[in-house]
Structure 1
């Protein structure tokens, strides 16, 4: 057990390995890795088929975005020039992430992130905390300790997901070549810290000779899920009670917010040259939308509803991906979420669950959904004027126009499908 001297901090007399300059250089490398993981997850999320992988990418990209923000703040405390925050640390490390985003299957992405990159990053952080001077660099140690907790949980989840896919008949052997190549780029970069020495023999590009592009249609798991739908669809054959019908519809609407997740992911990936605060805010927005989709999942599962067998809504992504990222974000944050702050809006959904349906779980979910939407509307008001280069009144007019055009498209889809658009 540590003693009482030095508030329990050990080895106060040792010098440690890192000067301020060396420490800053390593943290910049770590920040770059988290940023590239963040962008990779955003770009890949709509393309991945397994529901649990989509959800995890949303959680983990949020954690990576938070890590970047924390590491940047620590770097600025270490006399780092703001110009250095955007410098790529090593060409082979850049190539690693150029290749990682070209994963062609759920399994490839899983082994690349959770068997190569994140375990190597965890090892580097563990060694860094042991090697740095424990007293002078305590702020870095405390920061890395928290990042290690996130990494440990993510790696454990990734390994469990790999095992799940194998139990469902998918072979990890088909992803071995991808795992090997990602590992070779990491080795050529001198490892996570670069301290192993970068190779003078640069590995050739493999799949990244052409730039990665977001998919034109959001992917759903055809083996497990119902077919995609551009418009809202009901839960068939559940009840004639109008209160229960409305309650179940609300559950399904929450689960369908994965389409909003994919929309925000596309904005993150396609919108360049914004301040880091923008990407960090959108990472929070995206993870909130993932949680909302899981609200709906949990609520329907608690009711014994096989929600995966139902049609899967993709109308929050497919019709929007062809538009400018500013349009995509405006219709979600201003066209929908800001309007949801007006009465009856989100407060009516919450009060319905509390007072009419008397459903404790959905009452709790809608309470927090409402709180999150307040935050998202604020994000929209903050960033959409920057994206358009116009004032907020202009953005609201654009959002109204896009909303009307969207409704026309959904009505046409419903007519073709023979469904009533909800």
Structure 2
């Protein structure tokens, strides 16, 4: 910025000023996150890795590549072997029961007898569960080489949106007084199934098929209307932006997936067919001791009711429909696979 003329190059400088605001915010966030994630003692234990990173950056001419490269004699570590994407999701201790499919959120949301306020909890669960979408999309991006830059830009933007949605779910549970790592069992079965059983294009097909189901009045509009009816401004706001994001994501799917298939109807049908091939093994996961498919809903609902200062509704409290026989798009598993 110091090397150009503020009058002649005003349009460029204006853009750069806004870019600097975002970069400064990113740096502040990164420093704050690093301080919370890594203690001073743990950081000291990372000295070897930090030295390796500094050496590699110096050899590349700095983080922006503008400095003179410095020879690096450190041995190869992570790049000693070619990278291979591992499709099995890796989660931390906040996800103690990742195979749990004991609570079917969609059946609850479409039950007209269930109150809107309770449905906001199921929507927070659905948003938080969306962490499996970036887990799945990361594999599509990593395993799809030689695409135009616009493909990676759009797909990465969508990946970030899906991560935002998951954080919206977390914030929603905090606002409702629910300690979600204890009360809500967020599974990774969808991303696990797609990542380990389907090819990248097939995964994108499933993603597009699901996105098309979100567009009608029974999809994202329905969830937004629930948010409004609940009287919870946060739930309404989250669903408003979730809906808007999905409209953009449908466009991303048309640009990069449908264009490859060549026909919109075939693209949707292919996504349905690919999803139907996924073996979820609901019973086997239980037989193998990976999960009991525990119905965590009553505990979650009770915690929220205590925070809201109301008595739990017995009908809501007794909800117990799982994903054993019904898919998230409400298709019967026994007839769709």
TM range (shorter): 0.7 to 0.9
Q: Against the structure 1 CA distance between its residues 410 and 257, is the aligned structure 2 distance closer, same or farther, given a 3 Å change threshold?
A: farther
RMSD, matched Cα: 2.8
Structure 2 equivalent of residue 227 of structure 1: 97
Q: Does 1:247 align with 2:120?
A: yes
Q: Does 1:336 align with 2:210?
A: yes
Question: SS at 2:194's partner residue?
Answer: coil
Aligned partners of 1:231 and 1:410 also within 8 Å: no
Q: Against the structure 1 CA distance between its residues 286 and 394, is the aligned structure 2 distance closer, same or farther, given a 3 Å change threshold?
A: same
Structure 2 equivalent of residue 311 of structure 1: 185
Which of 31, 34, 53 is the aligned partner of 1:159?
31
Q: Does 1:302 align with 2:175?
A: yes
Deviations 1:63-101 (A, max 9, x none): xxxxxxxxxxxxxxxxxxxxxxxxxxxxxxxxxxxxxxx
Instruction: Supply the distance in 1 between the matched residues of 2:99 and 2:41 (Cα, whole angstroms).
Output: 27
| Count of residues in correspondence between the two structures | 283
Structure 2 equivalent of residue 72 of structure 1: none
Which of 208, 221, 225 is the aligned partner of 2:79?
208
Q: Against the structure 1 CA distance between its residues 379 and 192, is the aligned structure 2 distance closer, same or farther, given a 3 Å change threshold?
A: closer
Q: Against the structure 1 CA distance between its residues 190 and 335, is the aligned structure 2 distance closer, same or farther, given a 3 Å change threshold?
A: closer
Structure 2 equivalent of residue 174 of structure 1: 45
Structure 2 equivalent of residue 63 of structure 1: none
Instruction: Supply the distance in 1 between the matched residues of 2:65 and 2:128 (Cα, whole angstroms).
Output: 43
Structure 1 equivalent of residue 334 of structure 2: none
Q: Does 1:363 align with 2:236?
A: yes
Instruction: Supply the distance in 1 between the matched residues of 2:69 and 2:252 (Cα, whole angstroms).
Output: 41
Which of 215, 219, 224 is the aligned partner of 1:350?
224
Instruction: Supply the distance in 2 between the matched residues of 1:142 and 1:233 (Cα, whole angstroms).
Output: 50
Q: Which protein is richer in helix relative to its size?
A: 1
Q: Against the structure 1 CA distance between its residues 342 and 132, is the aligned structure 2 distance closer, same or farther, given a 3 Å change threshold?
A: same
Question: SS at 1:130's partner residue?
Answer: coil
Instruction: Supply the distance in 2 between the matched residues of 1:183 and 1:276 (Cα, whole angstroms).
Output: 28
Deviations 1:239-294 (A, max 9, x none): xx932443311211111111112212222222111111111111221121122112
Instruction: Supply the distance in 2 between the matched residues of 1:319 and 1:147 (Cα, whole angstroms).
Output: 39
Aligned partners of 2:258 and 2:267 also within 8 Å: yes
Shift of 1:153: 1.8
Q: Against the structure 1 CA distance between its residues 141 and 372, is the aligned structure 2 distance closer, same or farther, given a 3 Å change threshold?
A: same
Q: TM-score scaled by structure 2?
A: 0.74
Aligned partners of 2:209 and 2:271 also within 8 Å: yes
Q: Which consecutive residues of structure 2, in runs of 5 or more, have no partner in the other structure?
A: 106-112, 294-321, 329-337
Shift of 1:360: 2.2
Aligned partners of 2:172 and 2:234 also within 8 Å: yes
Instruction: Supply the distance in 2 between the matched residues of 1:410 and 1:313 (Cα, whole angstroms).
Output: 13
Structure 1 equivalent of residue 165 of structure 2: 292
Deviations 1:98-124 (A, max 9, x none): xxxxxxxxxxxxxxxxxxxxxxxxxxx
Deviations 1:113-145 (A, max 9, x none): xxxxxxxxxxxxxxxx22345555555544443
Shift of 1:341: 0.9
Aligned partners of 1:190 and 1:196 also within 8 Å: yes
The residue correspondences of 1:385-404 to structure 2 (distance < 5 A) are: 385-386=258-259, 388-404=260-276
The residue correspondences of 1:192-203 to structure 2 (distance < 5 A) are: 192=63, 194=65, 196-199=67-70
Shift of 1:343: 3.1
Q: Which consecutive residues of structure 1, in runs of 5 or more, have no partner in the other structure?
A: 1-128, 236-240
Instruction: Supply the distance in 2 between the matched residues of 1:227 and 1:170 (Cα, whole angstroms).
Output: 30
Structure 1 equivalent of residue 154 of structure 2: 281
Instruction: Supply the distance in 2 between the matched residues of 1:183 and 1:331 (Cα, whole angstroms).
Output: 41
Aligned partners of 1:232 and 1:313 also within 8 Å: no
Instruction: Supply the distance in 2 between the matched residues of 1:158 and 1:193 (Cα, whole angstroms).
Output: 18
Structure 2 equivalent of residue 257 of structure 1: 130
